[in-house]
Chains A and B, each alone.
Chain A
């Protein structure tokens, strides 16, 4: 076990105090794919948020936003993450089952 000297401790405290400023990271969001539906279908997030999609169907899906992001094929329980660094509305869909659509609103 590494011991903490007084100086390191001070740095650790400072980091802890600064944490609220970067708390958006703690708000990273999940979208689940269940029964050929993105849930939630629409998500509002802040710039810098990472969204992780998880496919919980027995059929592969993809997550594609034209020109913005494109997952590999997600088999059952596979995940795809994307960090939104710019504000805007990101429409996306499953390129295999295009009736499956979703929206990420980044502000």
Chain B
């Protein structure tokens, strides 16, 4: 699971992260010399054309297998549609990351169903857990399936295509009144993991709950996320990929790009736009425009960064 090296194309110190943003409306933006620059509204065909070769990987999140409430009575079905989307991509991604909440209630059957569908992508999948994946009495189903080779509650790192990927866990030992939590042990491991890495190595940090403070009133942030970000500050290219909030949100701060992915199960409201962050019921016709996956492309010798968010529909 972890520790795979996907680097099959030649590595370069100057290799930089390149991705494209293709949110519901299709905004493509790039970063040149660390400055974000929007290339304006594009349609999906143009975005696909723009996705020149390089290493591409996929982010999928919050599949909540087992969820059957009005916001989406068939979360397994929409996960299957998402995998269908992935399989139809013109360029096969190198691998996939799943940023947690694989299941809704951590039932064995939910994990089995998720695995059955996600494996149809025939991609290696690197998981980090969401709080919904640790709900079984003995907290063992996630670990048995995805914990092999990981540290602590399931954190790990691996290298692919010249990029250093770090999967973090911020959904355990949460404190009353607080936000997501990494903890001292994990932060010490992170420091150790980064030691000796060249500052030109592109870094991707991924975790379930946003590592940056999106909306603390709803718990959308990580108490000690800042301490992790402090450790990657000196690196030339840092991308932080999260889930949990079931909507696309982005922020750029210096060399760090923050991005959250859509869920494949149900949308959640924009911060403060509803009484609570609970599942948002939208018209059936709109649901699939609010679910989706994200694809990230790295290209050598170009200082551009972008992420493509593809809705299931629209």
Contacts and interface: CB of A to CB of B under 8 A. Distances in A.
Interface of A: 35-37, 57-60, 64, 66, 72-73, 75-76, 91-93, 95-101
A72 B219 CA distance: 21
A92 B175 CA distance: 10
Contacts of A58: 69-71, 278-279
Interface string B88-116: 00000000000000001110000000000
Contact of B177 (A37, A66, A99): A99
A104 to B, nearest CB: 13
Nearest to B135: A73
A60 B104 contact: yes
Contact of B137 (A36, A59, A72): A72
Interface of B: 69-71, 104-106, 131-132, 135, 137, 174-179, 216-219, 275-279
A60 B105 contact: yes
User: Taking chain A's interface residues, is the majority helix, strand, or loop, or is none over half, making it mixed?
Assistant: loop
Given A72-B137, A73-B105, A37 B276 contact: yes
Most buried by B among A57, A92, A99: A99
B179 A99 contact: yes
Given A91-B176, A98-B179, A35 B278 contact: yes
Contacts of A76: 69
Given A75-B105, A98-B176, A36 B218 contact: yes
A99 B278 contact: no
A98 B174 contact: yes
Contacts of B277: 36
B175 A57 contact: no
Contacts of A57: 276, 278
A98 B278 contact: no
A73 B219 CA distance: 18
Closest 8 CB pairs of A and B: A35-B276, A93-B176, A99-B219, A58-B69, A98-B174, A36-B276, A35-B275, A73-B135
12 contacts: A36-B278, A58-B70, A59-B278, A59-B279, A60-B104, A60-B132, A93-B176, A96-B131, A97-B219, A99-B177, A99-B179, A101-B176
Contact of A60 (B71, B135, B275): B135
A36 B69 CA distance: 16
A95 B135 CA distance: 10
Contacts of A99: 177-179, 216-219
Contacts of B71: 58
A35 B135 CA distance: 20
A57 B137 CA distance: 21
A73 B279 CA distance: 18
